[in-house]
Amino acid sequence: MELPTLAAFLAIVLGLALFLGTLLLHRRRRAYNLPPGPKPWPIIGNMNLMGELPHSSIHELSKRYGPLMQLRFGSLPVVIAASAEMAKHILKINDAAFSDRPRFAVGKYIAYDCSDILWSPYGPYLRQTRRICAAELFSTKRLQSFDHIRDEEVRVMLRDLRRASGRTVRLRDTLQMLTLGVISRVVLGRKYVEEEAAGEGASPPVITPAGYREMVDEFFVLHGAFNIGDFIPWLDWLDLQGYVRRMKKLSAMFDRFLEHVLDVHNERRRLEGERFAAKDMVDVLQDLADDPNLEVQLSRDNVKAITQDLIIGATDTSANTMEWALSELLKNPKILAKATDELNNVIGPDRLATEKDLPHLPYIDAILKETMRVHPAAPMLAPHLAREDTRVDGYDILAGTAVFINVWSIGRDPALWDAPEEFRPERFLERKIDMRGQDFELLPFGSGRRMCPGYSLAMKVMALGLANLLHGFVWRLPEGMTVEDLSMEETFFLAMPRKFPLEATVEPRLPAHLYLGG
């Protein structure tokens, strides 16, 4: 065949292939009934519609397109569930179909190649890890064995706040040290992050509180960032926003810390020999890593990945929730007074609150639930990924679609909540709602196969911490600030902290000797 003839033949074949491909694609698209949504732009999709607070931007779009909405972030199809009914479809009715995770850069670079609990793909490894959490790490018996730790760390917080009597404190720092103190001792066996007076022969701490806060803040910033490379893969290698570089730097910092933790634990195992007994969650994980009967063997990186999740997952989200709760109470003095009255009546002026008191403090529980309705720790939960084509409420969601549950939007649904913009804890006295993932009106910890495994520990820490903050101190806004001046602006990360950390003046209200413990 002569060259011009060959070229003409190839051109005809190529043209025919393009025509047939376009025809088949058109027919394929018409065969599916996709959820409604705004028309995407070339290359960027609908990313231009995301404002500084994506959960709020998506909430406004859902008002226009409905509770199940299709977007496109770059080349990634995205579905948003923005009602309790749609959340139930995704997280319960079709839980198995939506139990995967998209493979984002943050999971690859920070979570030891997606081998933690949050970013792990659905399969034998994740199922085994969740069984370990349920049976070994967060069982009722194990959580009860750590009740003295929670009590002691709350007393440390109260002692430190008493020293600040009459002064203005930055509450976020105090709450982060409370939650970190509890989680460090429960997971790692001791506080690796604290400012200690270095005596003769003492080595400095692996990381300071300020250094740890910087790492945690960066962790949540990167988990909430819209990394262009995740949505437009052919631009990934450019790292246009510098996020991958930051992820690698943060991963190296965390890895240095976790390597030290594992080395300390291994040394104790070596020294104690047959007398060794597991004292904390890292000990349990290392014991399991030595078990040849595990379905999926745990590597050292797997242990570090799970440990990192355990530390980070409960530290900042719990602190944020307590900070939001106290912010709302300072904004609503009548609610604060009602909470104080309950504490006075149940506990009295001669002791601190304990975990045994918590079942008898329904208004404190209602305040926490209302806080998580208005200020959910993860406003859109972590993304799910469709493992197969699935039909939801008459619409088709195709395999490979990322699915977000906008719990921030669900918490503002007027069909579910009377006056949803108002902070009203009383609604949870009249309406019994459980947060274990079965009541889809309130999903701070998610539901189904990807539900947060540490919700029981988080609730114990938050309830005990908030009860003692309110019982132990009188809280006021700084001098010269009015209720109207108190900003309630939020910032979007994976979690949703206050944009401006809460500052308040603190004064003890109980006998001095009660603050000396810890």
- Residue 3's pLDDT band (boundaries 50, 70, 90)? very low
The reply to whether 452 sits in an annotated binding site is yes
Structure tokens at 273: 């020999």
In a domain, 5, yes or no: no
Q: pLDDT tens for residues 27-80?
A: 444 589 999 999 999 999 999 999 999 999 999 999 999 999 999 999 999 999
What is the percent of the chain with per-residue pLDDT over 70, rounded to a whole number? Answer: 91
- Residue 400's pLDDT band (boundaries 50, 70, 90)? very high
Contacts with 220 (C-beta within 8 Å, 6 or more apart), sequence order = 316, 493, 494, 495, 497
In a domain, 164, yes or no: yes
Is the whole-model pTM more than 0.85? yes
Quick check: 460 pLDDT over 90? Answer: yes
In a domain, 468, yes or no: yes
pLDDT mean over 449-468? 94
In a domain, 27, yes or no: no
In a domain, 26, yes or no: no
Q: Rounded distance, CA 59 to CA 69, Å? A: 10
The parent domain of residue 102 ranges over 32-195+203-515
Helix (H) or strand (E) holding 76: strand 76-81
Q: Tally the domains of the chain.
A: 1
CATH code at 137?
Answer: 1.10.630.10
Among left, alpha and beta (phi > 0; psi -120 to 50; other), residue 112 is: left
Question: Is the distance from CB of 323 to CB of 497 less than 8 angstroms?
Answer: yes
Expressed in percent and rounded to 5, the helix, strand and coil fractions of the chain are 55, 10, 35
Quick check: 204 pLDDT over 70? Answer: no
In a domain, 21, yes or no: no
C-alpha atoms less than 13 angstroms from C-alpha of 434 in its C-beta half-sphere: 6
In a domain, 114, yes or no: yes
Q: Residue 241: what residue type?
A: Q
Best CA proximity match to 83, nearest among 329, 325, 393: 393
- DSSP secondary structure letters along 265-292: HHHHHHHHGGG----SHHHHHHHHHT-T
Strands (E), 339-427: 384-385, 390-392, 395-397, 402-405
Quick check: 172 pLDDT over 80? Answer: yes
Average pLDDT of the residues of the chain:
90
In a domain, 358, yes or no: yes
**Pure H helices in 72-226:** 84-88, 105-110, 124-132, 140-145, 147-163, 171-183, 209-224
Q: pLDDT tens for residues 302-351?
A: 999 999 999 887 788 899 999 999 999 999 999 999 999 999 999 999 99
